[in-house]
Amino acid sequence: MTQPALAPRSPLAGVVAVWAVALVGAVAIGILVGEEWRIPWMLVAFGGAVLLSFAVQLWYGRTEGFIFRVAGSVIGALLLMGVISVGFGLAALATASA
């Protein structure tokens, strides 16, 4: 008698988890780090998001769609962190001109 296969983990959960970590990291950097060090720390956080993306997708344990899942995680984190950094940049310009 064969045993039924276990239900596979959702690949979307890993992608969204990386996006959530990127969001929290970008907001924390924007609030806690001074303006002159914000961009270098955003680059460090993005590098961490890339490594986290690889780790999460390797932990998922499926080879089908690995590149697409990693690319989705990384591109989503890049866009999310970019939008947040633009927001903080505009806020810095608004406070400098006021």
Token digits of residue 45 = 């956080």
Question: What is the total residue count of the chain?
Answer: 98
Residues of the chain with pLDDT > 70, as a percent, come to 90
Decide if 70 contacts 54 (C-beta within 8 A): yes
Q: What is the pLDDT of residues 60-86, one digit of tens each?
A: 888 888 999 999 999 999 999 999 999
Separation between Cα atoms, residue 41 and residue 26, nearest integer Å: 9
- Domain positions in the chain: 12-97
Averaged pLDDT for residues 27-33: 95
- Phi–psi pair at 72, nearest 5 degrees: -65, -40
Name the pTM for this structure.
0.84
Q: Which amino acid is at 36?
A: E
